[in-house]
Amino acid sequence: MIISLADADLAQDRSQARSMVISRSGIVAAEHPLAAQVGASILAEGGNAVDAAVATNAMMGLVAPMSNGIGGDLFAIVYDAKAGTLYGLNASGWAPSALSIGYLRDKGITTMPYRGIHSVTVPGAVDGWAALLKRFGRLTFSRVLAPAIRFAEEGFPVTELVSRLWSAHEQILHGDPTIARTFLPGGRAPAVGEVFRNPDLAWSLKEIAKQGRDAFYSGKIAQRIIECSNRHGGTLSVQDLAEFSSEWIEPISTTYRGWTVYELPPNGQGIAALIMLNIMENFPLSQYGHNSAAALHVMIEAKKLAYADLLQFVADQRFSNVPVAGLLNKAYARDRAARIDPTKANCSVGPGNPPHSGDDTIYLSVVDKDGNMVSLIQSNYENFGSGLLPEGTGFVLQNRGALFTLDPDHLNALAGRKRPLHTIIPAFMSKDDLRIAFGIMGGWNQSQAHAQFVSNIVDHGMNIQAALEAARFRKTTFEGCDLQIEARVPLSVRTELTGRGHQLEVRGDYSPVMGGGQAVMRKFSTGMNYGASDPRKDGAAIPEPAR
């Protein structure tokens, strides 16, 4: 068949920068191409989606150490294709049992520390890996960790965005000689294309490969974590590590114009994405047009309403009665939607009264040839977490405890063995024979980015690659009318938003502050898999190679 020049021109006349990856075999989408390649190789060697996800995550902890690693937490949604069932995993760690509001106040600390030893909570990632592999995996710890161990010993070339993040946080790394020795070889951050090695992390991963999760929570790694805590005046105990366990949980969901969208329940912020979608459903966004001023205004105002509830109500449900069902109630959403003025931005939004009933993160998604899917997110919270590194381990301890409050009357008040409000969230959506595992990292950006991604697909008919690439907005504050927006949103639209009272900060065309997303999709009627990777990150969607 001969294709005319006119047809060829038409085929290239589109707004998305890349095509989806399409394969009858598995696909791994991750924020670093080497990590995605590692996961795809695990699929080719007989592993399933869970095996590949753990291998990919281990590799991401090596190649993007500021963003994630075994010193952080993990959440995952697993789709078991044979059973047609979704499973949620909360592998977020708790505060030390001896850490309390009174303990900090006695030391003259009146606000929750942002970095340092008192911001450290028990890392949940390794226990999360163990739980995933035990329930769903085909391969052993030693097999799935082998690629990351090899790259840690032999080295890997540092990519563009990772190099920028590394150099931007040199000051934190210079703050402690232990962390500096690991992450500032030669006294500076690695440059783009420079090979970085982390033999200490290889040691830690080898210990886990030999002994499983016990190596981390009661073995040699645990000893080094406790030594680090003691050296810096922390309260972390042997029991805090040894007695920790991740938790299998039921995903929460809402419907959005015929699709079902799933998130994990509090202590994560995913419920805010569902609240946003419930509010947005009361407006004809498809008629308004994609990224029109009317559509963006509705989504921005829905974000403010949803996040006001997030800040007020989301906490560890083992300690607090979080009104999950009330927050997801459609009638409650209609009441909140009625508070949106279509002509004017609201700069001071408070929480509602739901009915009661009983920056710095990585995300990856995997689908295997059988249709099993994993949506996984993992983080240190802020870049390089607490700024502390247990001697000889090659990883930093997270600062997730910074998200507690020292207000004793708040649902998210600090308490021993309590999990803080969490920003990292995996997601999933389904309709008929389609299943999509997706996520977009970036602190408080995540729920609002999830809602925009879902709207791009449902309201505007985009494929998963176009939906990830589309220009986004971000508001990370909880008060005011400030808003960050990408320059690809037309000037006329930005002018109209300014006229409605939004105070815009225009970012670049593909601004990393908007977060980076990954997605995989399965169409079960054809057995075809699709993958997408956000150009705001260094990553890629890599298909499983032939065996």
CATH number of the domain at 501, please. 1.10.246.130
Per-residue model confidence (pLDDT) at position 214 = 98
Q: Are residues 51 and 135 in the same domain?
A: yes
Per-residue model confidence (pLDDT) at position 16 = 85
**Catalytic residue flag (residue 343):** no
User: What confidence tens digit (pLDDT) does each residue in 462-515 have?
Assistant: 999 999 999 999 998 999 999 999 999 999 999 999 999 999 999 999 999 999
Q: Are residues 138 and 257 in the same domain?
A: no
Per-residue model confidence (pLDDT) at position 5 = 45
Q: Collapse the DSSP code of 367 into the 3-class scheme (helix H, G, I; strand E, B; otherwise coil) and give the result.
A: strand
- Number of separate domains in the chain: 2
Low-confidence winner among 252-261, 318-327, 526-535 (lowest mean pLDDT): 318-327
Q: How far is CA 12 from CA 5, 453, 470, 510, in A?
A: 11, 23, 17, 20
| Residue range of the domain that includes 465 | 249-360+423-427+443-523
Say which residues have a Cβ less than 8 Å from residue 77's Cβ, sequence separation at least 6. 86, 87, 88, 89, 251, 262, 264, 374, 375, 376, 426, 427, 428, 437
Per-residue model confidence (pLDDT) at position 11 = 55
Q: Are residues 232 and 190 in the same domain?
A: yes
Residue 545, domain member (yes or no):
no
Q: Are residues 287 and 380 in the same domain?
A: no
Tell me the chain's radius of gyration from C-alpha atoms: 22
User: What confidence tens digit (pLDDT) does each residue in 445-476 have?
Assistant: 999 999 999 999 999 999 999 999 999 999 98
Q: Are residues 494 and 392 in the same domain?
A: no
Per-residue model confidence (pLDDT) at position 1 = 39
Residue 469, domain member (yes or no):
yes
Q: Are residues 240 and 261 in the same domain?
A: no
**Pairing verdict, β 434-440 and 517-523:** antiparallel
Residue 7 reports pLDDT greater than 70? no
What integer best gives the mean pLDDT of the chain? 95
Q: Are residues 258 and 309 in the same domain?
A: yes
**Of 16, 475, 498, the residue nearest 276 (C-alpha):** 475
**Pairing verdict, β 482-486 and 503-507:** parallel
Which residue among 361, 393, 405, 423 is the active-site one?
361
Q: Are residues 267 and 238 in the same domain?
A: no
**Pairing verdict, β 247-249 and 361-367:** unpaired
Confidence of residue 358 (pLDDT cuts 50, 70, 90): very low
Residue 411, domain member (yes or no):
no
Residue 164 reports pLDDT greater than 90? yes
User: What confidence tens digit (pLDDT) does each residue in 394-418 have?
Assistant: 999 999 999 999 999 999 999 999 9
Please name the amino acid found at residue 528. Answer: M
pTM of the full structure: 0.96
Residue 15, domain member (yes or no):
no
**Pairing verdict, β 434-440 and 427-431:** antiparallel
The answer to whether 128 and 61 have CB atoms below 8 angstroms apart is: no
Q: Are residues 331 and 467 in the same domain?
A: yes
Q: Are residues 317 and 192 in the same domain?
A: no
Residue 528, domain member (yes or no):
no
User: What confidence tens digit (pLDDT) does each residue in 288-335 have?
Assistant: 999 999 999 999 999 999 999 999 999 999 998 899 999 999 999 999
Residue 206, domain member (yes or no):
yes
Confidence of residue 243 (pLDDT cuts 50, 70, 90): very high
Residue 13, domain member (yes or no):
no
Residue 534, domain member (yes or no):
no
Q: Are residues 153 and 292 in the same domain?
A: no
CA distance 246 to 477: 30
Q: Are residues 140 and 46 in the same domain?
A: yes
| pLDDT above 90 coverage of the chain, percent | 94
Per-residue model confidence (pLDDT) at position 119 = 98
User: What confidence tens digit (pLDDT) does each residue in 73-95 have?
Assistant: 999 999 999 999 999 999 999 99
